[in-house]
Structure 1
Amino acid sequence: MNSTNSIDPRVMKELLQLQMLSKMSLLSGDNAASSKDDSNDFSALLETVMGQAAGAGISGQSSTDTLSSLLGNNTMNSVPGPLAALNKAYSPLHSTNSKSIATQYESIIQEASSKYGIDPSLVKAVIQQESDFNHKAVSSAGAKGLMQLMDGTGSGFGVTNPFDPKQNVDAGTHFLSSLVKKYNGNEGVALAAYNAGPGRVDRLGIKTDQDLSNKLHLLPEETQAYVSKVFNRKQNFSL
C-alpha cells in the first residue's frame, strides 16, 4: 500500500506551500547561510511529519489529527519558524473548508432560517457541531442527519426521511427556533436544551443565559462544551 495515499490532501497542500515559502526566503533573505539552514531544517521537518503522518494514517488515525498531535498546539503557538508558520497556515484552512462545505446546503439553510426567523450562522454552527455537514451521519444514540434529529423529534416536525438534507434542516431549524423563542432569545439556553433536552434544562431552573452561566456545571460535560463550541463556530460563520 502506498503510504502517501493516507495523507490528507489539505495537509499535503499546506506543507508544500510552506516549503515553497521557505525556498523563496533563500532568494530574498539578507543572510544566505542562515536562510539555507532554515530551509534544510524545514525540509527535515517536512519529511518527518509527512512520513509519520503517513504511518499513522495506515493505523487508522487521520493525518490531520496526526499532524496536530505530532507538533502540538502549544508548541506551535510558542515556537517561531516552520512550526509557527504551519500553525498559522493550517488553522484558517479548517474554517475555510467548513464554509466551503456549508455552501452546498446554503439555499436550504437560508430558506429554513428565514422561514423560522433564526440566524443562519447559528444553524450552520449547529450543523457543523452535530454532523460536520455529513447528511448521512448517525450517532451512537440514534440521532440522524445534518442536525442529528432523534426519530421522535424528527417525526414531530414532519420528517419522513431524516437523511434528506432539506427535511432535516427544516425540522432542525424549526426545533432550534422554537427553543430560542421558548427561552426568550437566550441562545445559550436554547443550545443547551438542543443538546441535553429542554426537560433537563427546565428541571434546573435555567431560563436565561445568566442562569446558564451560573448552573452550567450542573449540566453534562458534553453540553458544557457543546454550547461554547457552537458559539465559536457561529462567530466563524458570521465573519
Structure 2
Amino acid sequence: MFQDGKGASTSSDQDGFNELLNDILAQTGNGGIGQVSTVADLGPALAAKVSLKPASLNPLFAAASSYQSEKTAEKPIATDLDKLIHDASSRNHVQPSLVKAVIDAESSFNSKAVSHAGAKGLMQLMDATGRSVGVDDPFDPAQNVQGGTKYLSNLLKKYDGNQGVALAAYNAGSGRIDRLGIANDQDLAERLGELPKETQKYVTKVLNLQRNYEG
C-alpha cells in the first residue's frame, strides 16, 4: 500500500491509462464504472451489481486486458490462502478474484512482507489502517485478509462502486484521492497525471490479475 508522497508519470503512461479509462467509460455510458443506484448498505444487492460481478462480464476487465503490457501466467496456481480469501470475500461482499489480485499485487502472497513505508502482511496494511478494521497482528494471514478485505469493501462503498477509484485509494490513500476531488472513474481519468506513477500502474496491474484469477 503506497502512502502519500509525490510521484510523476510520463506522458505515454498517462495517455495509455487515460485511454484505458476512457474506453471503459464509453462502454458503460454516463453512469460510470460499476455505478449503482444505492450503496446505503453493502449487501447482496450491491455485491451482485458491483463486487461479485464476474470479471468476464465487466467491460472494465476487457479494457484492462487490452492495455496489459506484461503477460501474467496463463492460469494462476491455487494457494493455501484460498479458504481465507473466500471467507473474507463472502463476509465483506467483495469478489474473491479481486481480493486475490490485491494480495498478489501487494505482497506476492508473502504474509511476512513489510514495505519501506511500514505496510505489513498479505494485503500490506499500515498499522493505523489495520487497527481501524480490527487487525491486531498484521502478520497473521487470517486477520490480515479479513481486515484488508473489509478495508477494500469500505472503499468500494465510499466511492459508490467505482472500482478504479477504490483501488487507487487503496494504493495511494483515500486522503490523497479526496484532496484531488476524485469521486468516480471519470474523475480518475481526468486527474490521473496528479497521482503517483506507482498508483497508475497499480490499478491496471490489479485489474489484469483479477481477470487472470477469475473463475
TM-score range, shorter chain: 0.5 to 0.7
Alpha-carbon separation, structure 1, partners of 2:186 and 2:212? 23
Q: SS at 2:79's partner residue?
A: helix
1:170 matches 2:146: yes
Match in the other structure for 1:158: 134
Counterpart AA for 2:133: F
Counterpart AA for 2:137: N
Decide which of 117, 129, 143 is 2:105's aligned counterpart. Answer: 129
Alpha-carbon separation, structure 2, partners of 1:151 and 1:223? 20
TM-score using structure 2 length = 0.65
Match in the other structure for 2:83: 107
1:117 matches 2:104: no
TM-score using structure 1 length = 0.59
Deviation at 1:143, TM superposition (A): 0.5
Counterpart AA for 1:228: T
Alpha-carbon separation, structure 1, partners of 2:74 and 2:127? 30
Alpha-carbon separation, structure 2, partners of 1:95 and 1:186? 27
Match in the other structure for 2:203: 227
Alpha-carbon separation, structure 2, partners of 1:204 and 1:122? 25
Match in the other structure for 1:11: none
Q: Deviations over 1:104-129 (max 9, x none)?
A: 11111001101011111111110000
Aligned residues: 145
Counterpart AA for 1:198: S
Counterpart AA for 2:170: Y
Deviation at 1:95, TM superposition (A): 4.5
Alpha-carbon separation, structure 2, partners of 1:228 and 1:213? 12
Alpha-carbon separation, structure 2, partners of 1:140 and 1:211? 29
Decide which of 191, 196, 200 is 1:215's aligned counterpart. Answer: 191
Match in the other structure for 2:170: 194
Counterpart AA for 1:220: P
Aligned-pair Cα RMSD in Å: 1.3
Higher helix fraction: Structure 1 or Structure 2? 1
Q: Deviations over 1:133-174 (max 9, x none)?
A: 011111111110000000111111111111111000000000
Alpha-carbon separation, structure 2, partners of 1:201 and 1:224? 12
Match in the other structure for 1:145: 121
Alpha-carbon separation, structure 2, partners of 1:129 and 1:95? 17
Q: Deviations over 1:201-239 (max 9, x none)?
A: 011111111111111111011101111111111111115
- Select the structure with the greater relative contact order (CA < 8 A; seq sep ≥ 6): 2
Q: Which has the larger radius of gyration?
A: 1
> Which consecutive segments of 4 or more residues in structure 1 shift more than 6 A?
none
Deviation at 1:103, TM superposition (A): 2.6
Counterpart AA for 2:135: V
Q: Deviations over 1:13-72 (max 9, x none)?
A: xxxxxxxxxxxxxxxxxxxxxxxxxxxxxxxxxxxxxxxxxxxxxxxxxxxxxxxxxxxx
Alpha-carbon separation, structure 1, partners of 2:74 and 2:106? 16
